[in-house]
Every structure is written in C-alpha cells, then in structure tokens.
Amino acid sequence: MLSVLQNRTYRHLFAAQVIALIGTGLMTVALGLLAYDLAGANAGAVLGTALAVKMIAYVGVAPVAQALSDRLPRRVVLVSLDLVRAAIALLLPFVSEIWQIYLLIFVLQAASAGFTPTFQAVIPDILPDEADYTRALSLSRLAYDLESLLSPVLAAALLMVVSFSALFSGTVFGFLISALLVVSVTLPGTIPGPKRGIWERTTRGLRIYLATPRLRGLLAISLAVSAAGAMVIVNTVVLVKMRFGLGEAEVAWALAAFGGGSMIAAFALPRLLDRIGDRRAMIGGAVLLVFGTAIGALVSSYAALLGLWLVIGFGYSVAQTPSGRLLRRSAHPEDRPAIFAAQFALSHACWLICYLLAGRFGAAFGIEATFVMMALIGTAGILLARHLWPAAEPDEIAHHHPDLPSDHPHLRMHGTKSHHQHAVIIDDQHRTWPAA
C-alpha cells in the first residue's frame, strides 16, 4: 500500500490531505462542543442543522464550482480555496450566536465543495496505473480513518489544558500547511474537452453519473452510508453526555472508535477487492452498517457504544472506499473532474437528508426511534443498489450507432455500425447506456 508514496507529487498531496483532515477533525469535535455550549440538550438539533447547511453548500456549489474552474490551473484553485477555508476557520472561535455557526459553516464548506472534487480528480492523473490508484484510495481512506482516530485523541489531550475554542486554531494551521504542500509540487494540467456552455459544463457530470448503472448503485449505497454515518456524527455527543452522563474526552474517544473500525477496513480492502470485487464488497459493507444502526437502539452502556461504533466504522469504510474506482472507469479523463463533482454533490445530498433526520427526529422522538428509522433508510439504499447495479456487469456491451457517419473516428476505432462492441463510457457518442 505504501509503495505509491514513492511518487513525490502524490506523497505531498497525501501529506496535505492528512494535515488538513486533522485540522478539520479538531473543528468537528470543537463544533459539537460549541453547539452543546450554546444549545445544551438541543445540541443534536443544532449540530444536525449546521451539518445540513454544510451539505447544502456541498450539493449546490460543487458542480458549479467545477464548471467555473475546469480550465484554471489546478494548483491555483486548490491553494486559493485552502486559504479561504483557513480565513473562515479563524473566525469560528468568536461565534456567540447559533446563526453565526450556520453562516460561517456555509462559506467554509462552499470552499470545500470546490476543493475536494478537484483534489480527488487529480489523483488518477498522477497515478494512472489502476493497482496504484487502488492503493491510493485505501491510503486516502486510511487518512480519513486516522483523522477520525487521531483528531479526537488529540482533541481529548488538548481539552485537558485548553478550552474547546482553542481547537479551531488547529483547523487554521491545517489548511495553511495544506496550501504550502500543494504549492511545493507541479500538478498535471487539466485535459481540455470541447468547448461547452456553462449550463452543459455544470450538468455534464450529473448526466454521465445518472446514466451509468454502477454509479446509480453507488448513489444508493451512499444513502445507506450516510444514514449510519449521520447517527455517529450528529448524536455521539448527545449519547455520551446526556444518556451516559460523561464528559468531553469520552465524546472524543467514541468518535475515535468509529475511526478505528474504518482504519482496520482500509488495511484489508486492497486484498478484499481483488477477491470479491467492488459490488459485493460495497453492498456487504452497507449490510453491516444497517445491522449496526439497528442494534444502536439497544445500546445501554458507553462500552457497548464504543464496540458498536467500531463495527459501524468498519462497514462505513468497506461500503464507500471503492467508489473512486467506479468513478475512474466510468468517465474519460477530461470528464473526471465533472463526475467527481457529481459524486460529491449527490452523495452529500444523501448526507443532507440524513443529517436533518438524525438531528431533528432525534430531538423530537428520541434516539431509539431515530436508530430504527435510519436502519430502515439504509435497508432501502441496499435494495436500490442491488436493483440498479447489475451483478453480472459485462466488460463490453454490443451496441450500434445509427446516427454516426461511417467514417466517424469512433467507428473506425471500434467497428461498424451494425457490429460494435467495447467497454461503454457515457460521452458524446454514448448518451444513454445500451441494453445488454
């Protein structure tokens, strides 16, 4: 897995990702404690709404940001957005009203909505070999897991000597160091496609995504992932502090257990994917998430919660880490930024729904009922994934192109109009998925 770090460009970007994620992890802990400080028992509802605001920014901004920046130098885009995020994080310790949390979170996450898909789309260009890219995906998942594990531990240690508002300083430094690391390398240039209007550039990724069966299945799995993940992120602070009467450090350790389970899965995934493939692994991970979420309604002790969060973390990683492999093989290089932005927007639309439900439904009807409801949502996601993503997905599909002239480059490359078979990617010649 670590062999891909021999690539200097990827090594610097991976370090930038890890450092920025640790800073963001400190902000996640601090934000939950800030919500509790301002709203008390309603902290879950406040945090759920704040995270819903974050998702609104992600869903609304990502495709537009990608369309506006698709011809700009990637390094300029990434560094500029890191600096914007650092500036906003600098203001968070001075929040005194709940509405101020919502406003600053929207601006910060709007910048992240431009940063993250651009960052994700550049990795396949740096590591064109699929085996290397798979290792990079596992390392990226490991980076998220280490953040989930180490950031709460670091936060717990810092909270012994400083107030939670000081944790936001770590977020600022994380974004600044990330910007410096991006500046230190030369990134591959964007691959220009045909000139298109702003509306077509904004919607192109979504059209490719929704026309591809495996990606429609990925969206359904994203719904199951977000249902379980929202329960962990939104209601951990409520479970630990209100139900079990414990302190801030225990909140951090509970989040660390979730990250630990995900990290274990990240180490196992490269070999697992070689043996059983993406579809079986992802649906299996989603099944584990649903069972874990359903069991959550019965948790009666802090120790049991730690074990459950570990299991849910494992399923979380297995269900979503291979998504980059699906995206990579579902778009031409020039369309990768658009399709990564589409995945970013659509998956976070699922998070938007689940954050609101986990926070508001939990405040109104109780945590037990919310666990059951989120397990039902996850079950619906699994059933949809099995239906939308065929188990027997052929590598090549026979189809024809009655609308293309006989001398079209695509026909000269692959065959005649009446006898034509190759791996299909949605593009200008294949606007719909051919029937098998």
Domain residue ranges in the chain: 2-184+199-388
Q: What's the chain's average pLDDT?
A: 79
Q: Report the C-alpha dihedral over residues 390, 395, 401, 406, rounded to 10 degrees.
A: 180
Candidates 402, 399, 405; CA nearest to 419 is 399
- Return the CATH fold of 2-184+199-388: Growth Hormone; Chain: A; (1.20.1250)
Distance CA 386, CA 392 (A): 11
Residues present in the chain in total: 436
**What would the pLDDT profile of 35-86 be if each residue is shown by its tens digit?**
677 766 666 667 667 767 777 877 777 676 666 666 677 788 888 888 988 8
CA distances from 197 to 67, 191, 203, 332 (A): 9, 17, 10, 19
pLDDT at 288 over 60: yes
Distance CA 127, CA 120 (A): 12
Predicted local distance difference test score (pLDDT) of residue 365 = 82
Q: Count Cβ atoms within 10 A of the Cβ of residue 124 and give its class: 0-12 exposed, 13-18 middle, 19 or more buried.
A: buried
Element (H, E) at 323: helix 323-328
Predicted local distance difference test score (pLDDT) of residue 295 = 92
Predicted local distance difference test score (pLDDT) of residue 106 = 82
Predicted local distance difference test score (pLDDT) of residue 195 = 63
Tokens representing residue 166 in the block: 């000081």
Element (H, E) at 423: none
pLDDT confidence bin for 218, thresholds 50/70/90: very high
pLDDT at 248 over 80: no
DSSP one-letter code for 361: I
pLDDT at 410 over 60: yes
Predicted local distance difference test score (pLDDT) of residue 44 = 65
**What would the pLDDT profile of 158-210 be if each residue is shown by its tens digit?**
666 666 677 778 788 888 998 999 888 877 766 655 565 556 667 787 888 88
Tokens representing residue 381 in the block: 């996601």
- The answer for residues whose C-beta is within 8 angstroms of residue 238's C-beta and 6 or more apart is 43, 44, 362, 367
In 3-state terms, what secondary structure has residue 74? Answer: helix
Cβ(203)–Cβ(63) under 8 Å?
Answer: yes
Higher-scoring residue by pLDDT: 404, 388 = 388
Please tell me whether the overall predicted TM-score, pTM, comes out greater than 0.85 for this model.
no
Predicted local distance difference test score (pLDDT) of residue 10 = 82
pLDDT confidence bin for 27, thresholds 50/70/90: confident
Element (H, E) at 398: strand 397-398
**What would the pLDDT profile of 121-163 be if each residue is shown by its tens digit?**
788 778 777 677 777 777 776 676 566 556 666 766 766 666 6
Predicted local distance difference test score (pLDDT) of residue 114 = 78
Cβ(134)–Cβ(59) under 8 Å?
Answer: no
pLDDT above 90 covers what percent of the chain? 15
> 176: number of CA atoms within 13 Å, CB side?
11
DSSP one-letter code for 433: P
pLDDT confidence bin for 255, thresholds 50/70/90: confident
Tokens representing residue 211 in the block: 């026309």
pLDDT at 351 over 70: yes
pLDDT confidence bin for 247, thresholds 50/70/90: confident
pLDDT at 341 over 60: yes
Predicted local distance difference test score (pLDDT) of residue 41 = 63
Q: Report the C-alpha dihedral over residues 84, 139, 343, 428, rounded to 10 degrees.
A: 110
